[in-house]
Structures are given as structure tokens and as C-alpha cells.
Structure 1
Amino acid sequence: MRLSTVILPVRRWHDGGRDEWLRAERLGFHTAYTYDHLSWRTFRDGPWFGAVPALTAAAAVTERLRLGTLVTSPNFRHPVTLAKDLISLDDVSDGRITLGIGAGGTGFDAAVLGQEPWTPKERADRFAEFVPLLDRLLTEDSVTYDGTHYSAVEARDIPGCVQRPRLPFAVAATGPRGLKLAARHGQAWVTTGDPKLFETGTPEQSRAAISGQIDRLGKACAEIGREVSEVEKILLTGFTPDRDGPMESLDAFVDFAGRHFELGITEIAVHAPIPDSEFAADQRVYERIATEAPAQLRR
């Protein structure tokens, strides 16, 4: 199992921001992700920096750590401009970028550009067009496309990604249409569990829901002749009923991670601690998880 972290872009670069990314590399995390939002929930009235510039800066000061978004969405992104940013970011990082991508949600920054929040169907429709177009933009030198929601006219993306044929996609999805996109375009799949269980569910119900999601991903892969084992399965922690438990101690995390590994999860991402927030945690426990949990899980 891979162990990764999520660094929220809430610190100025020269006042702790840079140190967070360097710490993640020193601790040996597989990937350090960040949210791609313009504001987010309880942080919306405080500092919040852009994902692409933050990842570019992180790429410039790290050497081995993979970097990525968890996740980018169509809420305020267009495939043509996003592709250009990603190719540039992949170049600066020398091929260490993973694009976590999802359909987006309502609230927070979903309507920041002035549009009415999209319905679930509208989000799914846009996502179904966004992902294949982005795939083309990252693998073809020139793309012309005229779709329902997105267009491109001789969009040039030379020289393409350092990673070939393109940087990997980690597709966040739980519904049937999203899982089909993950099966066809994803090198990885992302879940946060079942949001309906977040407030009142039990850890056992959550694991059963995640197991069901993995089964449905397997069926989506089988429909196109792909082995589900080819798709990495990422759990972003902090949104299951036992959201606080895994960060209470090393043993608690190893138990949590082991139970999800048995379901088929291959990578777990934990949030870097942020004091006085919903992601508050003991920094010492976080560091022990990074340095000691992988060996315990291998055993």
C-alpha cells in the first residue's frame, strides 16, 4: 500500500508553505496532493492559494516526491487551458505529476464564475465531456473539438507531457457514469467513501460501501476488457464516519489502513495537520504514520 499526504494551500510560501512540501518528501510520502479549489468550506474566510502555482513551486524545491491535485473539477476549469498548465507543470517536475480529477459539487466555489450551480446530471454531463477532451489535449499535438459544453480550435500542446503517453489521471467517482470514465481513462480511482454515511454511518457500513464501489469499478473495467487490478485505488481520508480515529495514534492508523487494504485500496492519503481546523492532528503522530506505518502494513 502507498501512503500519501494532502497539503492544503493555506500557508504563505515563505511562512511555512515551502516547509510543508519539503517535509512531505523527507518523511517519504509517495505523493503530496493539494485541493484544486478557489476556496473551501471552513477555510473560505482565510488564506487559500492556487493549486497550480503551489504545485509548481513544490516541484521546484523537491526531487523525488510525486505531486498532484485531489481533485481538479470543471467548476472553474476549461480543458484547453488546464492542459497547457498540466504540461508545463509536468515539465517543471520532470514527470512527477498526477491529475486527480472529479465532477465537482455544489457550494463553496462551484458558482464563483457567476453561473448557477449545476445539477448532478449537468455535472455528470460536463465531466463525461471534460475528461475525454483533456485526454486528447494531453496526447495530441493539435486538437479541434466542438462539443455541447466545451470547444477547442487547433489547440496546440507541444511538446506534450514528460510522462508518456500523458500524465496519469486519478478519477474520483462513485456513480455509474463516473466509474466508466475511471475505467476507460484512469490510471487510478479516488474515493472518499460514501458521503451519505459521513454523519450517521458506522465504520463497518463505510467499509461495506467502499467495497461495493470497488466491485462496481471492476464491472466497469470488465465491460471494456480491462483488468481492475490495473487501476490504483486511492482513499482520501477525513470523510468517513471514523474520520478522526486513524490520526489518533500509529496503531489506529495501521488498523484503519489494513482494513481498507483488505478491501482493495492501494493508496491512502492523509491530510497534513492544520491546527485549529477539522484537520487538526498531532504532528508527531502524523510523522510516525509516514515513517513507521508502511513497514507495519507490509508485515
Structure 2
Amino acid sequence: MPTVPRTLVRMSLRLSTVILPYRRWNEGGRSAWVRAEQLGFHTAYTYDHLSWRSFRDGPWFGAVPTLTAAAAATERLRLGTLVTSPNFRHPVTLAKELISLDDISGGRVTLGIGAGGTGFDATALGQEPWTPRERADRLAEFVPLLDRLLTEDAVTYEGRFYSAHEARNIPGCVQRPRLPFAVAATGPRGLRLAARHGQAWVTTGDPKLYENGTPEQSVEALRGQLAKLSEACGPVGRDVAELDKILLTGFTPDRGRPLESLDAFVDFAGRHQELGFTEIVVHWPIPDSDFAADEKVFERIAMDALAQLT
């Protein structure tokens, strides 16, 4: 049988959404998560920030309490963060919160995790801004320790940035051996973390192309990132096919154009599906923001797009 070139293989694709926590729970917050389940989204994520960009001077609620409430309001929808970072998290306390959330949700939680960025809430605890290298150093210690905390009953550890002394996490996660990690990374160290500890890999594309790049350049940049992920998997004995590949949209040169119509989204998703992405994540529409979109078109995409991509 002839081999089909990988670029022509249609991988199965999932469609997920991000619901930003800017609305009070009883004033539209709850209804969005319930509607996400009704529309058939695979996962509904939220940002794990204390504040974010243009929303910085308005209402913004915590990720873990929001996801806990969403777990109680839904039954099938997976839930997660895109993404949690060491900027204001500690592995010991985060592990306890995640185990509790995984239990309340009945094993429906995915942890998106990355090195974090600068600005917004990166210095909210009073620390000096970390350089890219410092953020990578912290993530390289944070992820393996969190992995242990979620899989072992008791952990003692003394590191450069984080410590744990007989930290107990019984009974552990509902999902075994632990809830899945979706590691956001594009650099070599982060990609190695994704290869070693991740069940999924997350990207937003190449930020250098956001302002002046083209969709074609973005596709090529993503192809390069996927190739580097594959290279990172080899030394740790992972098959890159084992990892889900998640594209968080809204940060490529296409910006909001894929949500302008069903056909536009199918074209966008199909091109990225052929690259090897297994999950496309779109932002829930927010009027008068970078994530503004026609809600009727958004709902039609949620209900009908995947049928045209199989």
C-alpha cells in the first residue's frame, strides 16, 4: 500500500473555546459555560490571570473558582486553563486546587501550563520582571515538581525556586496517573518539557508575525514549530503522534477573520488540521474587544464546522 504524505492526512479534529472570566457568574458567566456544553465544544478553557490587557481595568474573576463553578454547572464538557504559569502560582498549592477541581468535575480537567509573559499581572506579587531565561528556568522546575505532586501521595523537594516538605495529596487525581498537561511552548526548553511531561502541546503561532505577517507565513511558522516538537520527542522516547496539538486562535495574522463565516472557519481549520493540529480553540465572542464576533456565526461554527472537516 502506498504511503500517504503526512501533509495530506486529515487528522481527527476537536473544536474548543475560551471563556474569559470577565462577567459575574449570575450575570452571564454561568450561561456561557452551559451554552458551551450545549453547542458541543470539546473543552471550555479560561485564562489563568489576575488581569489581562484591555480587560485590566474591568471585572475579572479567578480561574480555579470559575472552573469549579463551571464543573458544577456542566456534565460532559471538559474544562481547563490556557494557561497557568509560575508568575503567581506555586506547585504545592496549585496541586491541591487541581486535585480538588478534578474531583469536583469527575475527571474533566486539563491543565494548560506555560512560562507566562511580561506585563499585565506578571509582577502582581511585587517581584521584579523575570527575563525570558528566568521564566524558562522556573517553568523547567515547576512542571516536573507539579507532575510529582499530582501523582505521589507525599512529596519532599528542595529546588532553586520551589520547595515542598511532606506535601500530601491524597487521594490524587480522578484521572490517572494524573490530569493531563497541555504545555504551551515554542522554545527548545519548553518543547522538551512538552515532550517529557505533556499530553498536549499548545501554541498561539509566531508572535513576530501578528502585526505584519501573512496567513501563509503563519502556516509555515507553525509547520516549523511542529517539526521542532517532533525533534524534542525523540530523545525522551516519545512519539510526537501521542501528543495532542492545540492551536489557540486570535493571535495569528488571521486574527478574527476565521470567525467571520462558517466557510472562512472551515478553510482556516482545514489548513491547520492538515499541518497536524488536533484541536482548534476559539474565543467566546466579547463585544467591543479584540474577540468581538457575531454570536450567531460563532454558534453555527460550533455546531456545523467539524462535519465539514471529517
TM bracket (short chain): over 0.9
Q: What is the TM-score normalised by the length of structure 1?
A: 0.99
Match of 2:212 in 1: 200
Matched, 1:291 2:303: yes
Match of 2:203 in 1: 191
Match of 1:34 in 2: 46
Q: What's the Cα RMSD here?
A: 0.4
Matched, 1:259 2:258: no
Query: Deviation of residue 125 (structure 1)?
Result: 0.2
What amino acid is aligned across from residue 199 of structure 2 in structure 1? Q
Q: 2:227 aligns with which of 206, 215, 218?
A: 215
Q: Secondary structure at the match of 1:38?
A: coil
Residues of 2 paired with 1:292 and 1:150: CA distance?
46
Q: 1:161 aligns with which of 155, 158, 173?
A: 173
Matched, 1:15 2:12: no
What amino acid is aligned across from residue 289 of structure 1 in structure 2? I
Query: Deviation of residue 27 (structure 1)?
Result: 0.0
Matched, 1:145 2:157: yes
Match of 2:5 in 1: none
Residues of 2 paired with 1:222 and 1:291: CA distance?
37
Residues of 1 paired with 2:89 and 2:38: CA distance?
32
Query: Deviation of residue 224 (structure 1)?
Result: 1.3
Residues of 1 paired with 2:246 and 2:89: CA distance?
23
Matched, 1:92 2:104: yes
Q: What is the TM-score normalised by the length of structure 2?
A: 0.96
The percent of aligned pairs where both chains have the same amino acid is 80
Residues of 2 paired with 1:287 and 1:240: CA distance?
22
What are the residue-to-residue correspondences of 1:100-179 with 2, within 5 Å?
100-179=112-191
Query: Deviation of residue 149 (structure 1)?
Result: 0.2
Match of 1:65 in 2: 77
Number of paired residues?
A: 298
Q: Secondary structure at the match of 1:155?
A: strand
Deviations 1:31-63 (A, max 9, x none): 000000000000000000000000000000100
Matched, 1:182 2:194: yes
Query: Deviation of residue 267 (structure 1)?
Result: 0.2
Residues of 1 paired with 2:23 and 2:256: CA distance?
23
Matched, 1:236 2:248: yes
Residues of 1 paired with 2:150 and 2:167: CA distance?
10
Q: Secondary structure at the match of 2:49?
A: coil
Residues of 2 paired with 1:291 and 1:194: CA distance?
29
Query: Deviation of residue 225 (structure 1)?
Result: 1.4
Matched, 1:48 2:42: no
Query: Deviation of residue 244 (structure 1)?
Result: 1.5
Match of 2:289 in 1: 277
